[in-house]
Structure 1
Amino acid sequence: MSTLACRCSYRLLNVLTKRICLKTTRITNSPLSFHRIADIRSFATTAKMESKTPYIGTSKRGLSKEIEIPVPWGILAGKTFGDWTKPAVLCLHGWLDNCNSFDKLIPLLPQDKFYVCVDLPGHGLSSHISLGMFYTLFFYVACVERIVNHFKWKKFSFLSHSLGGNISGMYSGTYPDKVDKLIIIDVIGVFPLDGKLAAENLRSSIESYLKHEDKLSTAAPRYTYEKAKERLLGANKSLDDHSADILMERGTTRHEDGLYTYRRDFRHNYRNPVFTTPEVAMHLLRNITASTQHIMASKGRVQTSVAARSENVARLFDCFTSVKKREYVVVEGDHHLHMVNAEEVAKQISPFLNEDVPIFTTSVETSK
């Protein structure tokens, strides 16, 4: 099956109605139903236990190097690929995934770059935030700036998927002078909500977080590897079997009894207490100056909205008015296309990364 690449102006997106008929599965938008996660106070101990899965991680195979970036609530864990003196590309994964999300894609991309893949807070091997804190997109943007300061980057590029794409879009609009290239997979780069939902969202978030603190004494459920994987695949229809193994390697802890728990923070299932309104989102997008490439899944939510001539989606895409270059590419697949169809995604990203000569920066080498 071949890739359908549609390179078009964002101004024409609202007329892109051609139906793409492909054999693929449908993504669900429901959150992972994993019940309660491990006591946050014991996470630092359980996360150190090895997760033995059929997939062997890239660092264990010598393809990447593990890193830990100190933050006030613990660490941001991750791994790097390539020479740290080369131009930097920060890779941000999606909601409830981890930085293994890019394991199949990065080896297929230009090797004259320094790829830094980070587990977002409360994902993978990164620390959960402290009690009393909230996960928000604004918090994630601040985390990116911590990473930038850690490596002392003056200029860098983004490779981002889903939640990571919305974080990278917001950061690029907040710090436009620091981002050279912005690659966003299967989202727009912002996630606005109607301001009328503010009170409801805030109340729901506060109540959920407080109830969570009352349940910390409840032990996290344990599963066999097969059952844990089955639950992951059931909640993410866009993953295939091998992709699930890849995420499980970094996203689970294996205990002495041979059973597994999930490492991600259950609080990610709650609503964000604050969000951007459409007006704020459009302002951020207009402020982006980086060369921007959108890689959209043919069966993804955004492309479906584009094909349906959604005015709200078209209006957001039309806000990329200050970027050096714009590219919109539709690739065969569903939401996790960068894992399931990595070869075709790499064919689109590689030329974009190689265009022009990015500003040379030196990173600060770190190791675990």
Structure 2
Amino acid sequence: MSEEKINGHKIDTGLPAGVTVEEIEIPVPWGHVAGRWWGPRYKQPLIAIHGWQDNAGTWDNLIPLLSPTTSVLCIDLPGHGLSSHYPTGMLYYVFWDGISLLRRIVKHYGWSKVSLMGHSLGGALSFMYAASFPDEVDRIICIDIASPAVRVPEHMVKTTGWAIDKLLEYENLSEDKIPCYDYEEMIDIVVDAYKGSVSRDNCKVLMKRGMAPTPAHLKKKGYHFKRDPRLKVSGLAMMSLETALAYATKVKCKVLNIRAIPGQNWERLDYYKAVVEKLKETADVRYVEVEGTHHVQLNSPENIVDILEDFLEEY
């Protein structure tokens, strides 16, 4: 095993000696998208996409367990991790923005077909991309999610005004009002926020890309969260069950859906299952339940690595 020094604190990376990973940047009109490219660069990679308000570090425990010949590009979505934030005046429609971003990456590298792996929001984006470009996706792996978050229309209508006001509040948050904490206090906050889904040690793994020292000119000691606070307003990106099912009918690729138990505390688990059943009408779907929290790929990667490798080898 190896260690890194992150923000002055020694962190066990958990990476076996010899595992290769390279930090990359992909240009986009508003800046860049950061990523970690694991394994060979001469092979087209599996694109891995993290969950809402997480970052590419969510794969740091899983990828090293795969064959070292597996090539995986783990990206930080806009506003997350080390990727550029959107300019002032823009808002995040996390599901729709993600499809556009994946399309930009595919065009940037000139790939004709892709394979995608996503956790939570990332799994929803994999589903949406496969439905939007059904002839250009070989396979998708969705971890503890089946489609974008589904809400009844009444819920979306009710929360729209609140979401817009909250967005403007975050947009007008002055730099000196950004909260700063010492390292262990910040980790405490993250642990509490994940409500048991991510262990304390794995929160430190995520925070390698999710926090940064407070800028010197603010004359404050400590660290702040790197992610864009506007990401907290995600209510404008939901869809109805009918819309999710309509997208599901367009997916034609191989699908691996891994649901963690107890995993996410789904408001309507029947919606999740309905999307999986709809997918089976047009796609070759493998649905597997495993023991783990919602962040099973980070907290218990050993519970899914064999399932992933079998799927990748078979297809």
Normalising to structure 1: TM-score of the pair? 0.76
Contact 1:134 1:273 in 2 (8 A): no
Q: Aligned match of 2:41 in 63, 79, 84?
A: 84
- Structure 2 residue matching 1:318: 3-state secondary structure: helix
Please provide the CA RMSD for this pair: 2.3
Structure 2 unmatched runs, 5+:
1-5
Instruction: Report deviation, 1:218.
Output: 3.8
- How many pairs align? 302
Contact 2:144 2:260 in 1 (8 A): yes
Q: Aligned match of 1:182 in 136, 140, 148?
A: 140
Contact 2:19 2:64 in 1 (8 A): no
Instruction: Report deviation, 1:62.
Output: 7.0
Equivalent residue number for residue 314 of structure 1 = 273
Equivalent residue number for residue 43 of structure 1 = none
CA distance in 1, matches of 2:28, 2:8: 28
CA distance in 2, matches of 1:84, 1:322: 36
Between Structure 1 and Structure 2, the one with more strand by share is 2
CA distance in 1, matches of 2:246, 2:168: 33
Going from structure 1 to structure 2, the CA distance change for 1:321 and 1:247 (only over 3 Å counts) comes to same
CA distance in 1, matches of 2:86, 2:181: 25
Q: Aligned match of 1:269 in 228, 232, 255?
A: 232
Q: Are 2:73 and 1:110 aligned?
A: no
Going from structure 1 to structure 2, the CA distance change for 1:194 and 1:66 (only over 3 Å counts) comes to same
Equivalent residue number for residue 293 of structure 1 = 256
Equivalent residue number for residue 223 of structure 2 = 260
Instruction: Report deviation, 1:335.
Output: 0.8
Contact 2:34 2:82 in 1 (8 A): yes
Q: Aligned match of 2:54 in 80, 94, 97?
A: 97
Instruction: Report deviation, 1:182.
Output: 0.6
- Structure 2 residue matching 1:249: 3-state secondary structure: helix
Equivalent residue number for residue 241 of structure 1 = 200
CA distance in 2, matches of 1:331, 1:264: 30
Q: Aligned match of 2:158 in 200, 207, 212?
A: 200
CA deviation digits over 1:6-33, x for unaligned, max 9? xxxxxxxxxxxxxxxxxxxxxxxxxxxx
| Aligned-residue identity in percent | 31
Instruction: Report deviation, 1:202.
Output: 2.9
Normalising to structure 2: TM-score of the pair? 0.88
Equivalent residue number for residue 223 of structure 1 = 181
Q: Are 2:127 and 1:169 aligned?
A: yes
Amino acid in the other structure paired with 2:105: I
Q: Aligned match of 2:89 in 111, 126, 132?
A: 132
Instruction: Report deviation, 1:179.
Output: 1.3
CA distance in 2, matches of 1:84, 1:327: 29
Q: Aligned match of 1:329 in 268, 284, 288?
A: 288
Amino acid in the other structure paired with 1:343: E
Equivalent residue number for residue 54 of structure 1 = 10
CA distance in 1, matches of 2:206, 2:41: 25
CA deviation digits over 1:169-227, x for unaligned, max 9? 11111011121111011111222222233433332222112222332244311111110
Structure 1 unmatched runs, 5+:
1-49, 357-368
CA distance in 2, matches of 1:295, 1:109: 17
Going from structure 1 to structure 2, the CA distance change for 1:79 and 1:141 (only over 3 Å counts) comes to same
Instruction: Report deviation, 1:298.
Output: 0.9
